[in-house]
Each structure stands twice: as C-alpha cells, then as structure tokens.
Amino acid sequence: MHQLFATRAARMKASEIRELLKLLDQPGIISFAGGIPDPALFPAEAFGQAFQQALGADSRAQALQYSVSEGYMPLREWIAGHMRQIGVDCGPDDVLITSGSQQALDYLGKLFLSPGDTALVGWPTYLGALAAFNAYEPRFDRLRAGGNAGAAQYRAAAGPGAVKYAYLSPDFANPTGETVDRQGREALLDLAEELDCALIEDGAYQALRYDGQAIPPILALELARKGDLQACRTIYCGSFSKTLSPGLRVGWVVAARPVIAQLVLMKQAADLHSATINQMAVHQVAQTCFDSHIPKVRATYRARRDAMLAALERHMPEGVHWTRPEGGMFIWLTLPPGADGAQLLARALETVKVAFVPGQAFHPDGSGANTIRLSFSNSDEATIAEGIARLGAVLRG
C-alpha cells in the first residue's frame, strides 16, 4: 500500500519527544524529556464547574451541537481582550480558534508552502513546527534571529522557490529557552519586509516570564509601525496548553483578516470546528481565573528553573554550557565537541534512569549532535536536583 502514498508521506517522521513520553510509564525514570505542564497546576476544579455549567439546561444544546468554524464568539472576544493587554489591538473577527497551536502551524504550512519553497526557521527550532511544515515539502534555511543575514542572501539560497515565511518563538523558545530582544524583533520585521514574506510568531510561552522586562510581541511592534492589523504580515499563534490545559487542545491565531479567512476555509475542510464544549469551558475558566492562576504557574516554574540551573552549576563537568532562560520550560545544553546526545541518552537511561531529548532532532539539517534539551516544568526541585546529579555523573563518565 505504501507505493500509493503521496510523496509528502516520505517526509513524515515519528516525533522523538512523543516516543520519549512513553518512558514516563516506566518505574524510576526521572524525565526531563517532554515539555509537559505539571498537572497539579491545572485549574481542575474550575474546569469541573465550567463543564457542568456548559452542560446546564440553558447551554447544553450549544455545547453539544455543531458550531461555526471561526470559534466560540465569547472566547474569541476574551482572546482579543487578552491580546490588547500585550499590545495587539484586535477584535474577535481577527481571531480563529484552532485545535491547539499545532493545528495552526499545520494550516499555515499548508497555506503558504508549495513544494520547494523556503521556510526560515531557527537552528535549532521547535520540532513540532518542523513536523508540521515538512509535510508540505519545503526547504529549510537558517533564520538568524538578529536579522544579520540579508534578504539577498536568503533569496539566492532559495533558488527557484520563494521564501514564504520566517517562523520563530521569540519568547523562551522551545528548545533553547532563549528570547529575541526588541532590536532583534525589529530587525526581523525589516527582513520580512525586504523578502515580502510572512512572519509566524509562536507565542506558546509568552505568558511564562519569570525574570526581566517583558518585550512586546512582534505583531505588536509591527502594528505600532503600520497602525492597522490588516496591513500586518505577522501571524500570531497562541495557546492555552501551557497555561490552563494542554489536553483540551484550544489554541488561536491572530492575523489580518485575509489570512484568517483562508484558515477558516481550511478549518471547514479539516475538522469543521474545534470542540465547542472545550471552547466554552476554556472561556469560562479564562474569564474567571486566568489572571489569578498565571502567577501561581510562574512561581512554581521559576523555582524549578532555578533548581535546575543551580544543579547544573554543581554537577556539570567542564566543557558543558547551557542557556539561562528568563521564562518558559526549557534549558539547552551544549556538550563538548564530538559528544553525542543520542548516545548519552542511551547511557543515561540504562545506567541512571534519566531521560531528556537529544538536540539533533531540532535541527533541520541533522546537525547539533552534541546538544540536548532539558525540561524542568514537570519535576519538583528535589527530583531535579537528583536527576541532574545523575546526569552529571554519566557525563563525567
């Protein structure tokens, strides 16, 4: 049967992270692999009440019925208000609800990429974005977040294809935890104008800042330049997965309306609409407790980040370097030249039962063998200290 598959199927690969998540069921494993929120932080009681309310006599018909592809209007209105708080003046008609921001990335790849077109991405970049875009048969080129590569250089590398967009997560990126400063964001806007391409801004971790001064989203900076969202080329992808619940699969896109209109057509063709009852529940919880819930999440993850950074200082041998993120869920380690993250994972699992993600998977060209990603979000401080001590022992060999 495989001979009947489209050529794009050959580019689809299993996610190393999804496979590593299976390790969580094994006894004794300390996992720094998946970027998984701590379920103890989910506002479960609030969601219980929200689902009960959605299934009440006055709303159950709407909750269980087909709905519009754009998404539940009260949730879109709440998102528009939330976006205004971070500097993006938009209305509900500028918002599309998606089944997690992962679906948004898939739709955007489908919308912009023809085979052979170029997508500019980080080196490394989010593995889920690579998987989503890869199905549409692009070539990947390395995006320098500081904008220090010129448009002519990117065009020359693209050959007969076009540079269609640049993708990045500017706040506490997955996998590195790094943040693009304001100057770098402005430079990226300049580059996108020169290339006449879109900018896809993945804001999955935007709310999870623990230190430092908040930087406006790229879309907010472009809106300040142009004064009209409909003139903006930046497409903002947001998600409730890292703040309220990943399992309900509720994300969103904010963009100029011609982009939203095309994405709505894709939504209609793919799954009609995201689950209405989930959208209703997320709206209720966001409306009643988002602002009070987020500080609790930040405080917990800040303590865990600090615990991991302190443990790395204590236990990593000379020649190992790591990022010091101001937020998010990840720390990125660079091992000495010649080291292999995949081999280290095999040894760590066998000898000390510690899991993480080898960094090579995050590089479109298969480079980065001597890098690894650690996630601190789903382990308490004592577990982090123990796991990093074990990992350091393996590295010291």
Could you report the per-residue pLDDT of 52-96, keeping only the tens digit for each? 999 999 999 999 999 999 999 999 999 999 999 999 999 999 999
What would the mean pLDDT of 231-259 be, rounded to a whole number? 98
pLDDT confidence of residue 161: 83
Which of the four pLDDT bands, split at 50, 70 and 90, describes residue 46?
A: very high
Between strands 357-358 and 118-121, the pairing is unpaired
**C-alpha radius of gyration, the chain, whole number:** 21
Residues of the chain with CATH 3.40.640.10: 44-289
Per mean pLDDT, which range of 7-11, 264-268, 343-347, 376-380 is the poorest? Answer: 7-11
3-class SS at 39?
Answer: helix
What is the per-residue pLDDT for 373? 98
- Give phi and psi for 83, each to the nearest 5: -65, -35
Distance CA 224, CA 197 (A): 19
Q: Where are the alpha helices (DSSP H) in the chain?
A: 16-21, 44-54, 60-64, 73-85, 100-112, 127-134, 151-158, 182-195, 218-226, 257-270, 276-315, 341-351, 381-396
Which amino acid makes up residue 317?
A: P
- Tell how strand 251-254 and strand 321-322 pair up: unpaired
| The residue to which tokens 């298969």 are assigned | 366
| SS3 call for 235 | strand
Q: How confident is the model at residue 9, as a pLDDT?
A: 80
pLDDT at 253 over 70: yes
Alpha carbon 214 to chain centroid, angstroms = 18
For tokens 């580019």, name the residue: 11
What is the rounded average pLDDT of the residues 132-149? 85
Q: Tell me if the bond preceding 246 is cis, omega within 30° of 0.
A: no
**Mean per-residue pLDDT, 198-218:** 97
The sheet with strand 371-375 has its strands ordered as 321-322, 330-334, 371-375, 357-358
**CATH top-level class for 2-42+292-396?**
alpha beta
Percent of the chain scoring above 90 in pLDDT: 88
Assign domain 44-289 to its CATH architecture: 3-Layer(aba) Sandwich (3.40)
pLDDT at 20: 61
User: CA 328 to CA 302: how far, in whole Å?
Assistant: 9
Three-state DSSP class for residue 56? coil
Mean pLDDT of the chain: 94
Q: Please, which pLDDT band fits residue 210 given cuts at 50, 70 and 90? A: very high
Per-residue model confidence (pLDDT) at position 19: 62
Residue 21, pLDDT score: 61
pTM, entire model = 0.95
Q: Is the pLDDT of residue 16 over 70?
A: no
Give me the mean pLDDT over the 171-195 stretch.
Answer: 96
Rounded to whole angstroms, the Cα distance separating 34 from 375 reads: 7
Looking at the chain, the domain(s) classified CATH 3.90.1150.10 span 2-42+292-396
Q: 283-338, pLDDT tens digit by residue? A: 999 999 999 999 999 999 999 999 999 999 999 999 999 999 999 999 999 999 99
